[in-house]
Amino acid sequence: MTKVSIGLRGWRFEEAEVFDESGAFRPLTEMPPDTRDRIGRLMAIIDNPCDACWLIHGEEEKQRCRPAAVVYGEPLREVVLCDTHEADFLYWFREEGGRDLVGKRTFQNAFHQWFADGGRAPDGYAGVEHIETDPDLVPEPSREEPTSSVHETPSREPTRTAGSGDDDELVSLSEEEQESLDIDLDDLDV
């Protein structure tokens, strides 16, 4: 099976789990739960600014933030970054203990705190060499048309506030949106 990134680099999907034989997106109900959760979350974050840029400029100057190009972490604990700040994240992950937080609730907040405290990759730090083969052949998810197959719930604009937690966003989802993500809120400390 072929793995593909959709919209943002980072999260990779089995092509056959996301697309049907004609190349169109499968309905969410036909996707495995983990894939469905990631696709649903991707639709909510695809237009977000880079987390690092947002930490620098804040909500007041959000227009100065570069758009996200890559996503790391787990849904609702993810870090979205522009190409410029990806190396900072990779340095934190590889050299500053980020790897130890994989899958933990504190993953996103720990990176944000490290970056806000002035953490940066050294000049010339090697990031990841991304190889893009035929990116035009992979359909881009659209925020205007997600309800037909990829995103079966109403689109909502993600919001960010300084110090907001992962769980705040999850709790703000409607019951229908929570059910489509197949997440049990009882497992979370909300």
Reported as a single tens digit per residue, the pLDDT across 136-177 is 555 555 444 443 344 333 333 333 333 434 444 444 444 554
Q: How far apart are alpha carbons 14 and 4 in whole angstroms?
A: 6
Bridge partners for 14 per DSSP? 3
How buried is 97 (Cβ within 10 angstroms: 0-12 exposed, 13-18 middle, 19+ buried)? exposed
Q: Which residues of 122-141 are buried (b: 16+ CB within 10 A; e: fewer)?
A: eeeeebeeeeeeeeeebeeb
Report pLDDT for 59: 94
pLDDT at 170: 42
Angle of helix 107-116 relative to helix 83-95, nearest 10 degrees?
110
Q: In the predicted model, what is the mean pLDDT of the chain? A: 78
Domain-wise residue ranges, the chain: 1-44, 47-129
Whole-prediction pTM: 0.68
